[in-house]
Amino acid sequence: MSAPFARSSASIATPPRIHDTRRERLPRGARPRRDVAPTSWAKSESANPTTTKTTRLPAPTVHPASVPTRAHLIRGGAASSAAASSGESSPLGVHALVWTGGWSAADANDACARTAAAGYDIIEIPLLNPRAVDVEMTRNALGTHGLRVATSLGLSFDADVSSDDASCVARGNALLDEALDVSVGIGATHMCGILYSALGKYPRRATSRGYRNAVAAIKRLAKRAAERSDVALGLEVVNRYETNLLNTATQAMAFLNDVDEPNVVIHLDTYHMNIEERSLEAAVLECGDRLGYVHVGESDRGALGSGNVDFDSLFRGLARVHYRGPITFESFSGDVVSPDLSDVLCIWRNPWGFEQRDELASDARSFVLGMMDKHGLR
């Protein structure tokens, strides 16, 4: 990242247990109490959103796939039925911003060491500034610790491929190309995030021209990616305050159909789904075998299981579509993330402290594995 890291990386040590920065952990399967009344905008979408029953939709058609092992990482849903029948389960990842706000050699090696020590398979590296990532150094760090890698980014308003301004679109395309070059160079399986618009609050709806520009940009990028590697492009569906284009799984499916490239998949994130989707399970079923990447994040960006995200609903859906793609833990704290990126991500408070990173990540992995076991995903 271009901004300096707020704190220098420290050697791996046994961290203190997390107590004061998160709510009491609930027994697995229990739902937290909801004492806060739903907000007015939630009421406009559902008469009683806190008690709405999950709609059990028909399971999507599953088409048998004859794909190599790496391909089941690219498209994680029904197309991974071969992987499911062979007993393979989803690889688990953690976002690098759990560990560090920078990507110097020291930061990279520390983050990779902590990722491996916590038992994860994948580290997700942010590429908001692709030029700040040293490809050779990163490959060495990944290889030393035996990790796979994914990348992610969001565009800025002056490099927005969903803009009506051709020069702005061109800058966005150039940034996406730089990010793809780095992703291919470090051996990423996925390049995910808000690749189709700026990351931020828009003052109005997307225009028809802006939508067409975004579709064209992703289609162009997908063709370029396919010519160079088997990296998949994951379009992250985020809440209305971070884009005006893809806020729901339904919108993402329509966009994907317009792009019509096989190496473009949907990237769902529970933090955003908890705001925009009426049912996490139904959203997963909507995507079916087009779902290729999943972020698990809590409603307050803190410890998994401490907020109000309905993870049972998510994992029921993943089981029904036979999902075997990556599941990556994402959590942010201003104690780690650099000040400029904290502003972009609206991190106005710290759900956990710098010295609590190791326990946070370890607990998240245990939580996800517990959900996978509960719903027959491994």
Residue 225 makes CB contacts below 8 A (sequence gap 6+) with: 180, 184, 191, 231, 232, 233, 263
Residue 277: active-site member? no
Residue 24: active-site member? no
Amino acid letter, 248: T
Token output for 369: 């594995």
- Active-site pick, 124, 136, 236, 281: 236
Residue 104: exposure state from Cβ atoms within 10 A (0-12, 13-18, ≥19): middle
- Active-site pick, 24, 276, 330, 355: 330
Contact 226, 263 (CB under 8 A): yes
Instruction: Give the residue among 123, 368, 128 at the shortest CA–CA distance from 270.
Output: 368
Alpha helices, DSSP H, located in the chain: 40-45, 71-74, 81-85, 105-117, 135-145, 166-186, 208-228, 249-259, 270-276, 280-287, 311-320, 339-344, 357-374
Q: Which residues are catalytic?
A: 236, 330
